[in-house]
Every structure is written in structure tokens, then in C-alpha cells.
Amino acid sequence: MKLIVLYPQPKDVEKFESDYSAHIQLLHEKTGIPSNEKPYTVTKFLQGPEGKPPFYQMFTMPFDSLEALNGAMASLGMQEVAADATRISTGGAPTILIGKLS
């Protein structure tokens, strides 16, 4: 299972980058992930032939099962991280998806 967060194009890229750095630190703090570990990926989208994409960045984090993902998302720490994701996403609310590997 994967948690996927898609961030729309921010109104201010520099501010988003600064806020996102602090957001990732908050994720590590609230989930207990050691600061030197990165069990997630962050993908920045580039302009293509169609122009600027609707999303600026994607965060992806794997979980062993849907139950593990739901348990993590129900924790107070992850709820705080999710609220912060919404706060820093100045181009609109982030899109949150749950994916299953096939």
C-alpha cells in the first residue's frame, strides 16, 4: 500500500520549499522516523510539452498493509502532519490518494 500526496502548483515556490522542509521535519518528529532515514520519495514535476503540470510535487510513502496505513493515519501525530500539509499547500488543498501495488 502507498500513501500518495499530490501538491498543486504553489502560489510562491520559494515559500512552499521552505515550508515543505519544515513539514518533512515535522513528519519525522511526529512519526518517530529517524532524521537520517527516508522511507518515502518526493517527486517534483517538470514542465512538459503541454506546459506546466497541475501538480508541483508528489510525496509517496509505502506501508505494509492497508491496516498499517490506516493506523498511521489515525494517529494524532499523522493528523497533525496532514493538517500541516494542507496549511503549506498554497495552490489549493493537496490531493491524497491510497494506492495498492499490483
Instruction: Give the whole-angstrom CA distance, residue 80 versus residue 99.
Output: 22
Q: What is the pTM of this model?
A: 0.93
| Nearest Cα residue to 95 out of 63, 64, 53, 65 | 53
Q: What is the pLDDT of residues 21-39, one digit of tens each?
A: 999 999 999 999 999 999 9
What are the grid coordinates assigned to 14, written together?
Answer: 520559494
DSSP-based three-state secondary structure for 25: helix
Q: Express as a percent the part of the chain with pLDDT over 70.
A: 100
CA atoms in the 13 A half-sphere facing the CB of 37: 9
As a whole number of angstroms, the distance between CA 42 and CA 60 comes to 6
> Which CATH architecture describes the domain 2-99?
2-Layer Sandwich (3.30)
